[in-house]
């Protein structure tokens, strides 16, 4: 089945640093979504991308839908301790409305 | 803003028992999705419903069934529970006809533990 390769798997950074993570796929996706999940909680939507090349910001977060429609990245600027969590990319290719998730990036921020 | 509601939040069952998980979508959302997330794993799609009809089916075991009711809430029924069914179960909802069908909003999840 289709897979999303998300990297890095984990990051340990200093507060104030910028963070970048990305997802790639061998197949085309029509939608890319980025979620943040805290332990034992549901994924919270951060940014939704609908068009190839689209660049969208949400506060300190910026995400882009790759022009080939096979990749997306998420940047977090000036990280703070509450950014700690697991970040998931998810895509939809309209073969159905289900989402395929990447493996997640565990972010740890040192105050 | 109202979010997706799931109940119960925690459930403990014995092997071979049954369980029913409930999901109440965001108001005016007509599509619901069920996902299963094992420890340290990413969410895996189980099944979805649009306007009370099953729309997509993923890796849902035959022991599980689900439905969407006239008020758009959904229930996931799980029978003959196995140890491996222990996981977080998430419901998500989206507004199918308002142009953002692919934007799914997740509930807080139900943690199922099978002993």
Q: Are A4 and A74 in contact (CB under 8 A)?
A: no
Distance of CA A108 to the CA centre of its chain: 15
- Find the residue in B nearest to A34 (Cα): B103
In three-state secondary structure terms, B84 is: helix
**Chain A residues within an 8 Å CB radius of B56:** 96-98
Whole-number pLDDT of residue B1:
72
Task: Tell me which of A9-23, A32-46, A82-96 is least confident.
Answer: A82-96
CB contact under 8 A, A33 and B104: yes
Whole-number pLDDT of residue B106:
97
User: How many other CB atoms are there within 10 angstroms of residue B48's CB atom?
Assistant: 28
Model confidence pLDDT, tens digit, residues B56-109: 899 899 999 999 999 999 999 999 999 999 999 999 999 865 445 568 999 999
Of B43, B102, B109, nearest to A41 by CB-CB distance is B109
Model confidence pLDDT, tens digit, residues B9-42: 999 999 999 999 999 999 989 899 999 999 999 9
- pLDDT, averaged across chain A: 93
The token pair at A44 is: 């919270």
Whole-number pLDDT of residue B99:
47
The torsion of the CA quartet B38, B40, B42, B48, rounded to 10 degrees, works out to: 20
User: How many other CB atoms are there within 10 angstroms of residue B23's CB atom?
Assistant: 26
Average pLDDT over residues A52-66: 96
CB contact under 8 A, A97 and B102: yes
- Find the residue in B nearest to A96 (Cα): B56
Whole-number pLDDT of residue B98:
43
Whole-number pLDDT of residue A96:
75
Whole-number pLDDT of residue A36:
98
Give the separation between CA B14 and CA A31, rounded to whole angstroms. Answer: 39
Q: How many CA atoms lie within 13 A of A13 on its CB side?
A: 23
User: How many other CB atoms are there within 10 angstroms of residue A10's CB atom?
Assistant: 11
Model confidence pLDDT, tens digit, residues A13-35: 999 999 999 999 999 998 999 99
Q: What are phi and psi of B93, to 5 degrees?
A: -135, 155
Whole-number pLDDT of residue B115:
96
B82-101 residues touching A, CB cutoff 8 A = 88, 90, 92, 94, 96, 100-101
Whole-number pLDDT of residue A84:
97
Average pLDDT over residues A49-76: 96
Q: Are A104 and A9 in contact (CB under 8 A)?
A: yes
Whole-number pLDDT of residue B95:
86
Whole-number pLDDT of residue A95:
72
DSSP assigned state of B98: T
């Amino acid at each position: 089945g289709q897979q999303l390769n998300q990297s890095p798997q984990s990051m340990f950074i200093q507060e104030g640093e910028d963070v970048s993570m990305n997802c790639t796929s061998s197949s085309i996706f029509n939608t890319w979504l980025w979620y943040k999940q805290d332990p034992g909680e549901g994924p919270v939507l951060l940014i939704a991308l609908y068009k190839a090349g689209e660049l969208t910001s949400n506060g300190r977060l910026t995400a882009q839908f790759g022009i080939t429609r096979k990749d997306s990245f998420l940047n977090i600027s000036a990280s703070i301790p509450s950014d700690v969590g697991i970040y998931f990319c998810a895509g939809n290719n309209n073969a159905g409305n289900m989402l395929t998730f990447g493996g997640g990036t565990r972010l740890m921020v040192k105050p | 803003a109202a979010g997706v509601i799931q109940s119960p939040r925690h459930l403990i069952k014995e092997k071979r028992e049954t369980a029913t998980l409930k999901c109440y979508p965001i108001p005016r959302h007509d599509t619901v999705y069920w996902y299963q997330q094992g420890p340290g794993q990413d969410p895996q799609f189980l099944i979805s419903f649009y306007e009370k009809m099953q729309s997509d089916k993923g890796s849902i075991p035959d022991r599980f069934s689900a439905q969407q009711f006239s008020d758009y809430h959904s229930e996931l029924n799980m029978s003959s529970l196995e140890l491996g069914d222990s996981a977080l179960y998430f419901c998500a909802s989206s507004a199918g006809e308002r142009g953002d069908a692919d934007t799914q909003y997740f509930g807080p999840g139900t943690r199922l533990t099978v002993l």
